[in-house]
A and B are shown apart, each in its own frame.
Chain A
Amino acid sequence: MKRTLTVLLTLAVVFSAALLAEAGRKQDNRPDGGTLSYGEYGRPATLDPITSNEMISLRLTELLFNGLVGINEKQEIVPELAQRWDRSSDGRVYTFYLRKDVTWHPREGEEPKPFSADDVMFTYKIMMHPRTITPLKVRYEFIDKAEKIDDYTVRFTLKRPILNALAKFSFKVIPKHGPVNPQFLTRDDAFVQNPIGTGPYMLKNVTAEREIVLTANDNYFKGRPHVDQIVAKPFADQNIMTQALMFNAIDMIVLVNPRDIPEIQGDKRFILQPYNALSYSFFGYNCRNPLLADKRVRQAFTYAVNRQEMLDSFFNSQGTIISGPFAPGSWAYNLDVLPIPFEPQKAIALLQEAGFSRGADGFMQKDGKKLTLSLKVPIEKESEAVKRVVLAFKNYLKNVGVDIKVEFKEWQAWKEDVFLEHDFDVIFASWVFDDSADISSLFHSGEIGPWKNNFGGYSNPEVDGLINESKLTLDHEKRRTINRKLHAILADENPYTFLWTLTNYAAFQKKVRRVAIHPYKFFSYADEWFMEGKDQK
């Protein structure tokens, strides 16, 4: 009897070990191995999903972390860290049943720690802490209460039912044992530079050249990703990035410079894949400056610039001029609102109406003060095209009597000036949205403050009211109507000079197979990508 038990136990141990080993690999008969290096147009400020507010970080955190739920290519909500969920009949209570086979990336010399409900609770609390620096807070204010039911069950009670509530639980979960400060997260915490997650890839190191090296997570709960290593290489100059691809120094570019599309399309070694990130570029104004608080001045600036000429000259016409705060590929774009035309005379008339007159030096002035403004541009944007855009802007405005002083700043310093200190008059930047086209954090007056997205301090009670109403409704068509109104108002108000949306293509070597790209997060399906043995390096 004892012998039989021993044999059974031994068999069970052997069988479990074999299962574990099998569970680590994907069962799709595709080869593992190889390194994929991709070109980024800058360095991320942080690598955690909570404090970051830029695309470079977003792409990396997609590889490092998971949410309770994910969204697949068919726009379906799929299980991730939660294996299933319940929704109460009134749509207010969501209960998530968590996977029990998930572990956190191990720190060096440590064993992997198990993921549990405590981590979900920790993430929610730290995200909502008033001292945590994050743009996410506004997105989760709809949650009334979060509870741990047991080690693998969490429950969220909403203040009220909302549209697409389940999708919002795709927020990335961080480990309770991750941040140094367990109360709130700031950019000073070591975790933001050296994070651990549950995702398909683990952060290995950041090289002296600021390359970010990620390695495959053997214990990934969806099966080990096929590609062994992913390396993010920063390029300040997009032209060099394309050359790096052409000379095999990198395998992929996440966003091809529109000017380089013909060159890449003509080369059979590469695949160009469109992914429609809903994005646009703009000149944003600081409405705290009394000169820019006057709508007529902002409107004048938009009339003064020839956007089509800039798009044609600097981006080979590869994009579309927009009229308002949504991208043309969005469901929220108001098709009845047309872009403000290029009319310098109208710009001058508007400035005169706002009380300015031409001085002897040709520049506009008011109360004896010359109309001089600073334009701050992040240095990562110092590609040739961007330089030309800002210089063209300066010249267009000079033609109507406005003196623009262009200042290039290092990315982090630029963000501090814009989002923390609000020390700027005009900025040139771009926003990228996910499908929900949510502009509330950009233009609601409640989003004015340090590290919040309404950096320009734009405030309009009508806009606030519409945004609030849009958040409360459960009716898609009503929300669509509200967004159309918001589009029309903001197109008239010109908190930004809305510029264009550019053609978005990723380029990669043909050897990288089964590449599906998430239009916003990019690497959502990267664990499925692979390279044949002969193509691995």
Chain B
Amino acid sequence: MNRTIVFLTILMVAAAPVFGADDSVAKAMKLYEKRHYAEAATMLRAELPSIEHARQGTARLTLGMIYLKNAELHRKLYLEALSLHQDYLKKLAAEQGKSRSRFVDLYLGEALLASGKGEPALSYLQKFASTEGLEPRAKAMAQVSIGLCFALKGDMQKADEAWAGLPGADPEVKAALAAAYSKAGLKDRKPLQLANESLEVLKKSGPGASLRYLTNVASVYAAEGLADKGIDLFKRADLKAYSYKEAVSKAKIITFYDAFLLDDLAQLYLMAGIASLEKALEDGKIRDTVNFYLGEAYAQSGAVDQSVKSTAAFIASSMPQQYRDKAAARQAANNYRKGRQFDAIGVWDELSKKQPLDPELLAEILIVCSGVRADCPKLAAKAAASVEAGEGRRFSLLNIALGRYYSAKKDFAKAASYLETGRDKSNKNKIEFNDPEMLVNLAEAYYRTKKFSEALEIYFEMSKQFPEVRQLQEALQGIYAMEHKSAGDVKIY
């Protein structure tokens, strides 16, 4: 985060026209620095048409950076939510008897499906679909997901059987089906048209759209490359809303959430980011800088070849060496992705020797190394020795990088220790002072080491800016309620 801010500052000073304090780009940057990403992006996007031509490139670059950072955060949130949902729902599903939730089978099935675990997903979904007395819409939702399980397995006959006879007039079901077609890659079934039709029906019928509905439509838009349209869907949505509230009894009420919401947001932000950066590329004055971010954005989207091209262009530029070194570290990660692991590790080793006293470069190398889940014990040892000797903000970044490295290695005790050292403790859970992505990493490490309340406190604070975090809070609360062991003590002080 700070890396990019510093970088953009250089860019602003060196390449762009001078902005006034009330300039929308400057305002957006301020919001970005405070990690108010959605607010920053919404404001700047609305202002784009009124920004003069000479500033368009910089404005687009800024918007692209904001979206990119928000995409990274939401990707991390999604992965963590998916894992938490499964842990929580598996515990709920293990209950027996009359007070067992019925809907847990639907939501666990969907969470497993999203994690690529088609077989167990199918079993839960079928169990749910065969439950007696279900509302037609709930049953239809299960059928849609069952069909998707089969379609992803390549069994279109069974998929069509599952999808046959669904209440097509119901816009919620229609949108779910559109999303399923889209996820299964069945373009010939015109998912976009189906999603738009559902939207028309919904507009006519009056009642507001549920968050699940919006998520399904957004999923189609994301697949069709309609990033802005997808983002606009959520403009007035309550992102903390649950998907379903099941009253198992008067005194047992369970709320279920859709983890896909976070996936959709991550995808939409990434696509919007790439689109904005590609537009910014048209401005020759800032092309080198744009390439730096575009290389990163393409890598995130899985477009490795495009990432290689953009990153290579940046490395060949006359930008400051320290940034070109960082880009070289990223380029090595691209090579790693393309199967040239040995070369990549060699580049990282060389870079770390080149500037042994630069903790920021070492942090960058470790982060890209974690990103591709490479094993870099020598680098980690070097970084550990470096943080032991150094102090200050620059070394905080290196501590955080070490934390992320050990998170990726699933050594959560070590991860928590490094991330905690890198955290600004004076502003423990405040996103304005601690990168929210780092906080999610830390929450994950605390959850995995059973320090539930530390993780919950992080999400509690984060949810004030990112209400969609609610689903992680609820799942984590549920796990904590089941797992804690204590006597029921309370003391005054």
Query: What residues of chain A have their CB less than 8 Å away from a CB belonging to chain B?
Result: 41, 52-56, 58, 71, 73-77, 135, 139, 164, 166-168, 170-171, 261-262, 265, 268, 272-274, 276, 278-279, 316-318, 320, 327-333, 335, 429-436, 438-442, 453, 469, 473, 475-482, 484, 503, 505, 519-520
Interface of B, secondary structure class, is mixed
B288-296, B316-324, B449-457 - interface stretch: B449-457
User: Cβ of A477 and Cβ of B478 under 8 Å apart?
Assistant: yes
User: Cβ of B487 and Cβ of A167 under 8 Å apart?
Assistant: yes
Q: Which of B453, B483, B488 contacts A330 (CB 8 A)?
A: B453
Closest Cβ of chain B to A56, distance in Å, is 7
User: Cβ of B481 and Cβ of A480 under 8 Å apart?
Assistant: yes
| Interface residue B493 (Cβ < 8 Å from any Cβ of A) | yes
User: Cβ of B456 and Cβ of A329 under 8 Å apart?
Assistant: yes
User: Cβ of B451 and Cβ of A320 under 8 Å apart?
Assistant: no
Chain A residues contacting B253 (CB-CB under 8 Å) are 481, 484
Chain A residues contacting B486 (CB-CB under 8 Å) are 71, 164, 167, 170, 434-436, 520
Closest Cβ of chain A to B98, distance in Å, is 11
| Interface residue B143 (Cβ < 8 Å from any Cβ of A) | no
| Interface residue B117 (Cβ < 8 Å from any Cβ of A) | no
User: Cβ of A505 and Cβ of B425 under 8 Å apart?
Assistant: yes
| 10 sample A-B contacts, Cβ–Cβ < 8 Å, listed by A number | A41-B493, A54-B491, A75-B450, A135-B490, A168-B488, A265-B426, A276-B457, A331-B480, A438-B490, A477-B248
The total of interchain contacts (Cβ-Cβ below 8 angstroms) comes to 179
Chain B residues contacting A171 (CB-CB under 8 Å) are 487
| Interface residue B484 (Cβ < 8 Å from any Cβ of A) | yes
User: Cβ of B484 and Cβ of A75 under 8 Å apart?
Assistant: yes
User: Cβ of B428 and Cβ of A274 under 8 Å apart?
Assistant: yes
Q: How far is the CA of A56 from the CA of B492 in the complex (A)?
A: 9
User: Cβ of B450 and Cβ of A435 under 8 Å apart?
Assistant: no
User: Cβ of B461 and Cβ of A276 under 8 Å apart?
Assistant: no
| Interface residue B465 (Cβ < 8 Å from any Cβ of A) | no
Given A335-B473, A469-B251 in contact, is the A139-B485 Cβ separation under 8 Å? no
Q: Which of A170, A268, A482 contacts B391 (CB 8 A)?
A: A268
- Which of A41, A279, A320, A480 gathers the greatest number of chain B CB atoms within 10 Å? A480
From B97, which residue of chain A is reached at the shortest CB distance?
A475
From A73, which residue of chain B is reached at the shortest CB distance?
B450
Size band of the interface chain B makes with A: 35 or more
Q: Which of A76, A317, A328 contacts B485 (CB 8 A)?
A: A76
From B254, which residue of chain A is reached at the shortest CB distance?
A477
User: Cβ of A335 and Cβ of B470 under 8 Å apart?
Assistant: yes
User: Cβ of A480 and Cβ of B426 under 8 Å apart?
Assistant: no
Chain B residues contacting A77 (CB-CB under 8 Å) are 485
| Interface residue B252 (Cβ < 8 Å from any Cβ of A) | yes
Closest Cβ of chain B to A253, distance in Å, is 14
User: Cβ of A316 and Cβ of B492 under 8 Å apart?
Assistant: no
Given A320-B460, A329-B456, A481-B252 in contact, is the A167-B485 Cβ separation under 8 Å? yes
From A138, which residue of chain B is reached at the shortest CB distance?
B488
User: Cβ of A276 and Cβ of B454 under 8 Å apart?
Assistant: yes
Q: Which of B251, B488, B493 contacts A478 (CB 8 A)?
A: B251
Q: Which of B101, B425, B456 contacts A328 (CB 8 A)?
A: B456
User: Cβ of A331 and Cβ of B490 under 8 Å apart?
Assistant: no
Chain A residues contacting B450 (CB-CB under 8 Å) are 73-75
From B253, which residue of chain A is reached at the shortest CB distance?
A481
User: Cβ of B426 and Cβ of A435 under 8 Å apart?
Assistant: no
User: Cβ of A434 and Cβ of B490 under 8 Å apart?
Assistant: yes
Given A272-B425, A439-B490 in contact, is the A332-B456 Cβ separation under 8 Å? no
Q: Mark B404-426, 1 if CB is under 8 A from A, else 0.
A: 00000000000000001000111
Q: Mark B189-208, 1 if CB is under 8 A from A, else 0.
A: 00000000000000000000
User: Cβ of B425 and Cβ of A332 under 8 Å apart?
Assistant: no
Chain B residues contacting A317 (CB-CB under 8 Å) are 427, 430
Closest Cβ of chain A to B325, distance in Å, is 28
**Contacts A167-B487, A480-B481 supplied; 13 other A-B pairs, CB < 8 Å:** A54-B492, A54-B493, A58-B489, A71-B486, A274-B454, A328-B456, A335-B463, A335-B473, A429-B493, A430-B493, A431-B493, A438-B490, A484-B253
